[in-house]
Structure 1
């Protein structure tokens, strides 16, 4: 009887270890933030490990020896890098709870398309507005507004990119709405205009009002100071 009880406890401990989830991130990292949103949406319990970016831990370097970047998800002892890849893994692994990607193959492909569009077009031009000066900044500002306006077309007839609830594109792009307002304050340029982009402006507010999203947003003042420092470093290195 005692042996049977011991085996039961041992099996339970093994099961807990196998299902253990760790996320290596950084409090001010948009990529880590969207992985947390995915985990929260799925109701997955996880241990969060906050990195000291200037002094990367041996654990991070061991888990992501290729890129040496975060975030890294460690599930059942197996590490996985790249935030969008991680989000898809989370969706497939914990498939019974709140689907992130659409079930329809076409809609699923389009969700990936818009997430990649934002990653390839909206993010670089917004970073350009943040890190450039003069004519280069003006060019990036024009392109950033055009790209955001294009992204807005995916919201036609929808509250969220995922429909009535948040989905893959919302999680992939959601941080941008929070960061853009900080960029605007630092550089004094309005990128996301309510008059010209009413759908996207409304989506930003609706997304940031979602409880699980709001719960994990970095403190705005702290993030503002962090990004002011980043901008100074970027400008100094380019002059």
Structure 2
């Protein structure tokens, strides 16, 4: 029995039990994972990462991309935010409401639109605050089109999954904290261009899982201002 206990202690020293999230406070990709964990009511240890001086744990856990977020489940890493959200949903089926719909077609649609968010929103938003002149005007036009396309996917639903807050809501909602930054650099209003999307963002903000894990839009705007300075963009 004593030997068993020693072996167990050795195993514990090698890999931490439970859930740990390697993340960076303002990352919309990390926030997806935090919202999913909160929706499922799962306790986890949050490990803030210094992205200018990456930790040994981060480099070891995600040797391919060397990026946050990374979810460690009993020491085993899961990388890429949408994959992490799906993993959380599948690995803890008895916890909270499912994030992905049960119907295979609805599930495929949710994944398609989450992939669209991934490919379009962050990149276009970055161009909005990094570029000037004609290139910035092009990014503004694209961002409005992207948001209108997503508003079309939302339709008249309360959430992207209909009545239930689900996978696509989790994937997209962190970017609502960036809307203010996009509006200021792009000189447009989400509420005027996409009123249903703006209303959806307000509904999501009332959820505890979202309210606790998103930072105020002004704080995101300040962060972007700091990034511009560091990158020498004026």
SS of equivalent residue, structure 2 residue 52: helix
Aligned to 1:136: 135
Aligned to 2:166: 167
Aligned to 1:59: 57
SS of equivalent residue, structure 1 residue 88: helix
Q: Which runs of 5+ in 2 are unaligned?
A: none
- In structure 1, what is the Cα distance between the partners aligned to 2:93 and 2:111? 18
Aligned to 2:146: 147
Aligned to 2:194: 197
Q: Does structure 2 retain, via aligned residues, the 8 Å contact 1:184–1:190? A: yes
Q: Where does 1:1-239 land on structure 2 (aligned, <5 Å)? A: 20-97=18-95, 98-185=97-184, 187=185, 189-192=187-190, 194-234=191-231, 236=233
- In structure 1, what is the Cα distance between the partners aligned to 2:158 and 2:47? 33
Q: Deviations over 1:82-134 (max 9, x none)?
A: 00111111110011231011100000000011111111123322221121100
1:138 CA drift (Å):
0.4
1:235 CA drift (Å):
5.9
Q: Deviations over 1:27-67 (max 9, x none)?
A: 11111111000111111110000011111111111111111
SS of equivalent residue, structure 2 residue 93: coil
Q: Does structure 1 retain, via aligned residues, the 8 Å contact 2:136–2:186? A: no
Q: Does structure 2 retain, via aligned residues, the 8 Å contact 1:132–1:235? A: no
Q: CA RMSD in A?
A: 2.4
- In structure 1, what is the Cα distance between the partners aligned to 2:112 and 2:217? 30
Q: Deviations over 1:168-208 (max 9, x none)?
A: 111101011111113323x261252x233121111111111
Compared with structure 1, are the counterparts of its residues 199 and 220 closer, same or farther at alpha carbon in structure 2 (3 Å cutoff)?
closer
Q: Does structure 2 retain, via aligned residues, the 8 Å contact 1:24–1:71? A: yes
TM-score (norm 1): 0.87
1:164 CA drift (Å):
1.6
1:19 CA drift (Å):
5.0
